[in-house]
Structures are given as structure tokens and as C-alpha cells.
Structure 1
Amino acid sequence: MAKRIVRHGQRQRAAVRALEDACDPIEEAYFQAKEAHWGAVEGGDPAQIREAKAAKVAAAARYEETRTWLRREAEVVKLQTRTIPRLEKILAAPILVKDGKNSAREDPAARAEVEQALAAARQELETLSKAAAETRRALEALGGEVVGDPVPLDLPPGSAEVTAPSITARPRVHRVRKDG
């Protein structure tokens, strides 16, 4: 069996870089707040320590909220442009199962399974859209600058471009077989 080589595409690397670039100013503010907190701890003044710690916690919360919002927006776009259209395309065609040597028949169990997956994807889209909108409002309330409109619920497939998708990490295990 041949070993499969996994390579990350240029688009995936560009998407990860775009997410990092979008979060750079917020991340930098967080690191500055951390440094200010360390300086206050070294100074020993309890009032300055409390103030610096509160600023650090606020910066960390803003950074995490921004990353969460970007991930949710990317997931909404993925559901709208890839997952739901793919399931609808599957349902538009007959779902056949082999029946005998040279014939096929419609498989109601497989169709029901795909319909259930489509319903679950639509429900998830609705839930994520609401969560992304709430996060957007919270970021704006914190004084964040949210660029662009929220992802509309009736987005046609393939019309959205995500510049900052979520970051995924998958562990890879590399084994060496020792035969004879």
C-alpha cells in the first residue's frame, strides 16, 4: 500500500495567513496588556496590578471573541456554499442501490438519511447565523471595528469568499514499518 503524501494547498495557507493578519492588531494589544501586567507585578503596587490584570483579561476576551466570530462566519459560509448545496444535489438525483445482478432500485433509507443530514445542516446554519450575529453585536459594543456585512442567510452557493476561515489542526502519526 502506497503512503499518501498530504500537502497543504496555497489557498489553505493563504486562508490561515489571512486569519492571522486579521487578528494581528488585537493579538498585539493582548501582548502589550500582558507586558503591562508583568511590569505592574514587578512594581508591586496592588492597584496597578489589579488595573493591569483587568486590561489583560479584557484584551484576551476581545482576542478570543474575534477569533470565535471569524470561525463562526467561516462555518456559516461553508454550510451555505458547500454542505447544503451538496446535500440538495444528492437529493435531486435518484439514490440507487443495487437490486439483483443487473438492476437497481431507489433506496428510501439512504434518501431519508440524506434528508436528515440536510435538515441538521439547515438547523446548524440557523443556529450559527444567530450566534455570529450576536458575536458581531458584542464586538461592536466593545468598540471593535467589524468590517463587512454579516453573512446573509439566503446566500447563493459559491458566491461567498472567506478571507479568514477557522484554523484546524489534525494530528498525523508517522510510523515506520519494520518488516524482516
Structure 2
Amino acid sequence: MNADEMLDQPATEQPVKKKKSLVAKIALTVGLLVVALLAAGGITVGVIYANGGPEALLSAASKMPIPDSAREPAFNQAVKSAGGEYTAGRPESEVVAEARALCARLDAGESIQDVAMDASTGVNDLKGFGTVMGTGIVMFCPSHTDEMKQFLTDIGQADQAP
């Protein structure tokens, strides 16, 4: 093969090494941090629950940033451990949705007394309902915890506050 024939032949392509862009590196770093924070949050929730039960968990939940992915299982565990028939036979996701709906009403400006009285109408297990509402407030809308404590004091149930 002469030089002219060699020039007519297609060149063998060499693999091109691509450097990771700065954006990709940042995205990877942020992703790893999020995973680490979620894991740390889950571990924290587990340790608090193991050491102090639902009361310690509820108290801590109102004071620390716990990822939502850890709040729902903690909520379900606290509600189950409190007993009661209110949640018996109902899917956990339904009970979580109910607690979140109560929080949405509080966030919309309804008073805790109105929400509690309206939502509990016709409920046979008021203790179980109260556990769902109280635990839901602490876990999903902790900004209403002080209002809930005041409501419990007003109705003579201050010892039930988380």
C-alpha cells in the first residue's frame, strides 16, 4: 500500500476520553449528600425511638429536621404503639394521609379546636383519633405543636401533650 492509498483509508477512531463536567460533579456530590442525610435521619429516628420510645421520638421530631421519608414510618410506629381501635385494619398510608389532611386544615387557618371537633365527630375511639391527630401534628406540621399543647391544656388533657 502506497502513501496515497493510506490517505484514502478511513482513520481508525481513537476513543475520546470525556472529562466529567463541573455540573456533573456537583450533581453527584449533591446526590451523595442527600443520600447521606436521609440515612443519617433514618438512623437518628431509629436510635431516638429505641432509647426513649414514641414519647422521645415525638419530642425530638418537633425540634429536629427529620426527612419526610423517616417521618412516616416513625408516625406509624408511634400510632401503633399507642394502641387503640381507631387505626385497626386501616392501611398505614390512609392514616398518614388523614394526619396530613388535618395538618393542611390547620395550615389553612382553621383552629385546632374546630379541626379536632369536626374530624372526631362520629369517632368511637377518641383516644386513638387523638393519637393520630397529636402525633400527626408533631410529625407533619410541628409549627402547630404549641397550639395543640394549649388546646390540650384548655380541655384538661395537658398530660397527654407530647
Max Rg structure: 2
Instruction: Tell me, yes or no, whether TM beats 0.5.
Output: no
With a CA cutoff of 8 Å and minimum separation of 6, indicate the structure with the bigger relative contact order.
1
TM-score, normalisation: structure 1: 0.27
Per the normalisation by structure 2, the TM-score is: 0.29
Give the helix-richer structure, 1 or 2.
2
